[in-house]
Chains A and B, each alone.
Chain A
Amino acid sequence: MVERYVAAKTVEEALEALSGGDATVVAGGTDVMPQSQAGRLKLGRTLVNIRRVAALSGLALTGDEINIGPLTTVADLNEHDLIRQHLPVLADAADKFASPQIRNMGTIGGNVCNASPAGDLLVPLLLLNAEVELRSSNGRRRMKLQDFFAGPGKSHKKPGELLTAILAPLPKAGFTARFEKFGTRPALDISTVSVGIAGVMAYGGLQEVRVAFGAVAPTPMRGPATEHALEGKKLDDAAIEAAAQAAMQEVKPISDVRATDWYRRELVHNLVRKVLQDVARG
C-alpha cells in the first residue's frame, strides 16, 4: 500500500525519500507498472518518481568515458549522436527493444535496475565494460555492471541507493561489437537468447575479447570460456566452431514457455557462429 508519493526534483530529494526504507523507485514505469498490476512486484510504502530529476538525464562525454544519465530513454539511446558514434552496439540493441512507445518511455536506468536476464541493453553494456554509479545518503560508489546483478530481478543495489549514472569507457580504436538477439521480428520480443561479441580486430582475429549472453542464465552473463577460446585466434572455421562450442557449454539456460534449455544452447551455438562469421568477413 502506497502511503507517500514523492515527485523528486533533485537527487537529494530522491535519496531522502529512499532513506526511509520500503520505497519503490519509478522512472518510465514500463516495468514497475505492469509488474505491480499483475502482483509480481509489491510496491513499497513510498513511491519515488525520479522522472523530474534533471541531474539524472542527459548524455555526456567526460574525459575518456561516456556518462549516460539513467533517465535516458531507449529511444534517445537509439538516436543520440554520441551513442551512434562511439557505442553503436548500444544503439543497435535499443533499436531492437520492445516497441516505439516503450522505447519512448523506458529508461536505461530502469532496464539496468530491473535486472532481467533478458534485459536487451544489458548484453551490449557488458560488452562495453560499463560501470554503474550508485548514490545513497552515505555517499557514492562505482561498480562494474557485471558485478551488479544478483539474480533474476535482483541486483546488489542497496535499498537506500539510487542508480545515478551508467558509465561506458570510450572503446579503443579498432574495437568492434555485435549484438544478436534471437527473434522472429525486428523488436517486440522478449529475448529467448541474445549474444554479444566484442573485441579489437587485429591479425584476422579478436583481441581483448568480450562475450556476453542474455536470457541463458539467472543474470546477463559474460562468457569467459568463449572469450578465452577466441582471444587472439585467427577467425577461421575451426576457431569459430570452438568458440561456439565453448559458448553453448558455458551458458546455463532453463526451459520455460519461450524455449527449452536444449534449444537455447543450440541457438547460442549458432548465433555465436553467425556473429563470428560476420565479424570475420569484416
Chain B
Amino acid sequence: MAVIAKDSLIGRRIPKMDAPEKTAGKTRYVQDMKLPGQLVGMILRTDRVHARIKRIDTSRAQALPGVHAVLTAADIPQKPIGVNKDNPPLKGDKVRCIRDEIAAVAAESEEIAKAALKLIEVEYEDLPGLFDPTQAMQPGAPVIQEAKPNNIAMVFDYAHGDVGAGEAESDVVVEDEFYLHYVTHCCMGVSGVIADFEPTSGNLTIYSNTQVPFLHKREFSEVLGMDPGRIRIIQPPIGGGFGSKLDIYPFEPIAVYLAKATRRPVKLVFSREEEFIASPTRQPAIVKLRSGCKKDGTLTFRTVDILLDNGGYTSWGATIPFVMMQTFSSLYRVPHCLYHTKAVYTNNPYAGSFRGYGNLQATFAVEQQIDKMAEAIGMDNLAFRLKNAQAPGEVTGQGMVFKSCGFKECLTTAAERSGYVQKFSANAANRSKPSARKRGIGMASMLHVGGGAKIYPSDGCGTILKLDDFAHVTLITGASEIGQGSETVLSQLVCEELGLPMSAVTVVNNDTEITPWDVGVHASRTTFIAGNSAIGAARKAKEKILALASKVANLTPEQLDMRGGCIVRAEDGEVVMPLPKLLRSLHFSDKAELVMTTNYYEPPSVHQGKDFKGDVSATYAWATQVCEVEVDTDTGIVKLLKVTAAHDVGRVLNRLGLEGQIEGGIVMGQGYALSEDMVFKQGKLLNPAFRDYKLMTAPEVPEMDISFIESMDGEGPQGAKGVGEAPAICMAAAIANAIYNATGVRMTNLPFTPENVYRALKGAS
C-alpha cells in the first residue's frame, strides 16, 4: 500500500489564490461593473468650509436631458451617520468642511452628470471658520455642531497608579509636544458603490467596497429605515482598504437614495481628486507627553495630553485614543500613567481609521522620549528599552495580559542584525564632521492588538465548510478579503487540518446573503479570529470524516489521519482510502449525508469598562524596527537606506503573504514619515493629486531585513498572531530617532519632508 508522509503547509511560501486572475486583468472591481440600466451618480460638494446654505436651486439641472434625479437634503430623510451620528448624508442647513455633500444627481452618462452639477445654484452665508483645534476650545469660538456647543466631540480619559508619586521618584523628566500631520490612504482603487433597489420587492443590493459588511448592513438599515433582511451587501474585489472602508460615508446612502428615486441601479465612483478631498484621512494629533525615569533607567511615570482635530464630523479617527492609550500605558512597564484626550470639532476634514489606528502617532511620541531619557541618564537606549520591556506573563496597569510576548527577542534581534549599538555610537561621533551627508540609525518598537479587539458586542467570525463528492472544499467565511491575502491563509489553515492541497479549496467571502457574520476586517484580527473559526470548522469536518473512516478501516479515529487527500493510518501514513471515495460512500449510502460544518469563533478577550481596563485582545503583537538614514544637510532630503525589522508574529503561517504585509507596511510608514502630506489652507486641500501628494515609488524602497520571532501564541491559529497593522507603526518614530542620531536635531513634527528637515537643521522658523 502507498504511504503518505506527514507534511505541513505552515510556514511555506504560498502564492495568493486570486493573483493569477489579477495578473490577467480579469478581476472585476466595483469600478469595472456595469449593471443593466445602470445610471451614473455624482455628488455636488461645497466650495465653502463653513457656511449656512440659504438656497439651493436644482431646477436647471433637473431639466437637463439625460438627468434622472437631482436630490438635496430636502428630498431625503434627515438621518445622520457616523460615529457621533453627526453627519447627514446630504447637508441642508449648513456646510462644515470642504468635502460636504449638498446635492446629488443620477444621469445617463458621466458627461451629463457633470454638466448637471454645474447647473445647480447654491447661495451661502459664510460663517467664521475654525481651523486650529486649540482655538476650537477657546470661549466664544464658532460652534461647528450645534449639538456640541463647546466643540468637544469626544473625550477619552485613563489612569493607572499615581503620576505624582511617580514624578517624585524620577531623576529625569522629559517633556515634549509632538505634532502629527494629515495623510490619507490612497487606495489605488478609488471609492465606489453600486446601489440597486427594486421597489416592488423592497430588495436593496449594494455592491460595496466596505471592510465591515455586516455592520454596514445594520448602518444602512438604520439610515434608510429599512428592514435589514432586505439589504444585501456584495463585496466585489477591492482596490485597497487599509482601514478607509471601516465606516459608512455619505456617498453610500446617497447612491441608495438615487437608486430609489430613479428605480435604476446607480453607480457612484469618485475621481482621484474627489478621493483626496472626500475620503477619510489619518487622524492628525498634537501629543503632549511628559515621562520620567530613575538614574538606573527604570521608567517612573507618563502623563499624556492629546488634542485631536475632529474636523467637521465624527468618524473613527476620533476614537484612536482607545488604541493610543495601550502604547502609553503598556508598551513598557510604566507604574504610573495619566492620560487625557479630546477630539474637537473644526472646519477641517475628518479622519477615519487607518492601518495602525493611532498607534503610529502614539509610538512616535513614546519612542522618541525613550531615546531622550536614555541619553539624559547616559544609558545605551537599547539597554534602556530592554530594562523596561514587557515580558511574558506581565499584566499591565491597563489590564492587558501578555501570555506570549517576544518583545525582548524583537529588540535584540533587530539590534544585532543591524549592528545598532555600534552604528549608533559611530554616527553620533561623526556628527560634527564637515560632510554634507550624515548617517543615522534609529530604533522604535511597538505593541499592537494581535488577536482582535473587543469593541463590538462580539469580536467573532463565522465559517461554513462544505466538502463535495470530490473532496473539493468550499470555505465560506465572514472575513473580508481586501488584498491582504486572508482567503489564502484561511484556506491554508483548513488544508492543514484536512491534509488537502491548496488547490482543493474555493473561498466564498463576499456576500452577506451567504457568508456568516464577522465584525469586519480591522484591528489585525482576520488571521487570528477568522483563522481560528476556519480551523474549528475544519476540525469538525475532520472529526466526522474520521469517525466514518474508523468504521471502514476498523481503527479508532485517533489511529487515523488525513494526508494528501487520503485517509491514512496515523502511525505510518499508510493509505486507508482516498478521501473522495470516503465522502461518496457517505453521500451515496443509506445514511445519505454530506460533510458540511459550521463554526463561530469568539476570542477570549474582554470588553473594557469606562476605565478602559481589561484584556481587550486575545493576544498582542510586538515588533522592533531599526531604520538607517542618510541626511543631506544641503537639501534636507532624508534617504531611508535600510530597515531591519523583527516582528513577533506568533508563528509564521504563509511566509510569502506575511513578508508582503510587513514590506508593504514598512513602505507605507516610510511615506508617512518622509513624503506624504496633505497640505490644508483654511480647510482647503492644496494638493489633491499624486503629483504633489507623494507616495513612495519603486526606486525609493529601502533594503529590508525582516526577521520573524515565533512566540507560539497559545490561543492563536497554529500559534499565529495578527500583524497587518504592525509594520507601519514604528517607522516614523525610528526615522525621527535616526535623524537625531545623524544630526543632533530632534524632529518632533511630522512629516520629515526635505523643507521641514532643512528648516529644522537651519534652526530657522
A binds B: yes
**Which residues of A line the B interface, CB within 8 A?**
38, 182, 184-186, 188-190, 257-260, 262-263, 266-267, 270-271, 273-274
A260–B756 CA distance with the chains assembled, in angstroms? 11
Stretch of B78-86, B293-301, B399-407, B684-692 contacting A (4+ beta carbons < 8 Å): B684-692
The reply to whether B758 and A266 form a contact with Cβ atoms under 8 Å apart is: yes
30 example contacts (A-B, Cβ-Cβ < 8 A) are as follows A182-B754, A184-B637, A184-B639, A184-B674, A184-B700, A184-B754, A185-B697, A185-B700, A186-B699, A188-B697, A189-B694, A190-B691, A190-B692, A257-B679, A257-B686, A257-B687, A257-B692, A259-B755, A260-B755, A262-B764, A263-B755, A263-B758, A263-B759, A266-B758, A266-B762, A267-B635, A270-B634, A271-B634, A271-B635, A273-B634
Query: Binding site of A, secondary structure by majority: helix, strand, loop or mixed?
Result: loop
Residues of chain B with a CB closer than 8 A to A38's CB: 273
B711 at the interface (CB under 8 A from A): no
Instruction: Give the nearest-CB partner of B692 in chain A.
Output: A257
A271–B764 CA distance with the chains assembled, in angstroms? 19
Contacts A184-B639, A184-B675, A274-B634 known; list 12 others, CB within 8 Å.
Answer: A184-B694, A184-B700, A184-B754, A185-B699, A185-B700, A258-B692, A262-B764, A267-B635, A270-B635, A271-B634, A271-B635, A273-B634
Residues 668-706 of chain B: 1 if any A CB is under 8 Å from the residue's CB, otherwise 0? Answer: 000000110001000000110001101001011000000
Q: What's the least CB distance linking B650 to chain A, in Å?
A: 36
A257–B692 CA distance with the chains assembled, in angstroms? 8
Query: Interface size bucket, B side?
Result: 20 to 34
Q: What's the least CB distance linking B720 to chain A, in Å?
A: 36
Residues of chain B with a CB closer than 8 A to A190's CB: 691-692
Residues of chain A with a CB closer than 8 A to B635's CB: 182, 267, 270-271
Q: Which of B686, B687, B692, B755 gathers most chain A CB within 10 Å? A: B755
Instruction: Give the nearest-CB partner of A262 in chain B.
Output: B764
Residues of chain A with a CB closer than 8 A to B675's CB: 184
Q: What's the least CB distance linking A264 to chain B, in Å?
A: 9
**Which residues of B line the A interface, CB within 8 A?**
273, 634-635, 637, 639, 674-675, 679, 686-687, 691-692, 694, 697, 699-700, 754-755, 758-759, 762, 764
Residues of chain A with a CB closer than 8 A to B754's CB: 182, 184
A5–B679 CA distance with the chains assembled, in angstroms? 40
Q: What's the least CB distance linking A13 to chain B, in Å?
A: 30
Instruction: Give the nearest-CB partner of B700 in chain A.
Output: A185
Q: What's the least CB distance linking B639 to chain A, in Å?
A: 8
Residues of chain A with a CB closer than 8 A to B758's CB: 263, 266
Q: Which 8 A-B pairs have the closest CB atoms?
A: A270-B634, A257-B686, A263-B755, A257-B687, A186-B699, A257-B679, A185-B700, A257-B692
Instruction: Give the nearest-CB partner of A266 in chain B.
Output: B758
Q: What's the least CB distance linking B251 to chain A, in Å?
A: 21
Residues of chain B with a CB closer than 8 A to A266's CB: 758, 762
Instruction: Give the nearest-CB partner of B634 in chain A.
Output: A270
Residues of chain B with a CB closer than 8 A to A259's CB: 755
Q: What's the least CB distance linking A138 to chain B, in Å?
A: 38
Q: What's the least CB distance linking A272 to chain B, in Å?
A: 11
Residues of chain A with a CB closer than 8 A to B686's CB: 257
Instruction: Give the nearest-CB partner of A258 in chain B.
Output: B692
Residues of chain A with a CB closer than 8 A to B755's CB: 259-260, 263
Q: What's the least CB distance linking B600 to chain A, in Å?
A: 48
Residues of chain A with a CB closer than 8 A to B759's CB: 263
Residues of chain B with a CB closer than 8 A to A186's CB: 699
A266–B754 CA distance with the chains assembled, in angstroms? 12
Residues of chain A with a CB closer than 8 A to B694's CB: 184, 189
Residues of chain A with a CB closer than 8 A to B764's CB: 262
Residues of chain A with a CB closer than 8 A to B674's CB: 184
Q: What's the least CB distance linking A197 to chain B, in Å?
A: 16
Residues of chain B with a CB closer than 8 A to A270's CB: 634-635
A211–B733 CA distance with the chains assembled, in angstroms? 41
Q: What's the least CB distance linking B294 to chain A, in Å?
A: 42
A176–B370 CA distance with the chains assembled, in angstroms? 51
Residues of chain A with a CB closer than 8 A to B637's CB: 184
Instruction: Give the nearest-CB partner of A186 in chain B.
Output: B699
Q: What's the least CB distance linking B302 to chain A, in Å?
A: 35
Residues of chain A with a CB closer than 8 A to B679's CB: 257
A94–B635 CA distance with the chains assembled, in angstroms? 22
A264–B447 CA distance with the chains assembled, in angstroms? 40
A263–B755 CA distance with the chains assembled, in angstroms? 7
Q: What's the least CB distance linking A146 to chain B, in Å?
A: 27
Residues of chain B with a CB closer than 8 A to A260's CB: 755
A184–B755 CA distance with the chains assembled, in angstroms? 11
Q: What's the least CB distance linking B416 to chain A, in Å?
A: 31
Instruction: Give the nearest-CB partner of B687 in chain A.
Output: A257
Residues of chain A with a CB closer than 8 A to B699's CB: 185-186
Q: Which of B634, B762, B764 gathers most chain A CB within 10 Å? A: B634
Q: What's the least CB distance linking B335 to chain A, in Å?
A: 43
Instruction: Give the nearest-CB partner of A267 in chain B.
Output: B635
A182–B635 CA distance with the chains assembled, in angstroms? 8
Instruction: Give the nearest-CB partner of B693 in chain A.
Output: A257
A184–B630 CA distance with the chains assembled, in angstroms? 12
Q: What's the least CB distance linking B693 to chain A, in Å?
A: 9
A221–B759 CA distance with the chains assembled, in angstroms? 26
A273–B635 CA distance with the chains assembled, in angstroms? 12
Q: Which of A38, A184, A259, A262 gathers most chain B CB within 10 Å? A: A184
Q: What's the least CB distance linking B398 to chain A, in Å?
A: 39
Q: What's the least CB distance linking A261 to chain B, in Å?
A: 11
Instruction: Give the nearest-CB partner of A263 in chain B.
Output: B755
Q: What's the least CB distance linking A178 to chain B, in Å?
A: 15
Instruction: Give the nearest-CB partner of B637 in chain A.
Output: A184
Residues of chain A with a CB closer than 8 A to B700's CB: 184-185
Instruction: Give the nearest-CB partner of A260 in chain B.
Output: B755
A252–B639 CA distance with the chains assembled, in angstroms? 29
A260–B753 CA distance with the chains assembled, in angstroms? 13
A267–B637 CA distance with the chains assembled, in angstroms? 11
Q: What's the least CB distance linking B448 to chain A, in Å?
A: 29
Instruction: Give the nearest-CB partner of A256 in chain B.
Output: B686
A97–B342 CA distance with the chains assembled, in angstroms? 46
A266–B694 CA distance with the chains assembled, in angstroms? 22
Residues of chain A with a CB closer than 8 A to B762's CB: 266
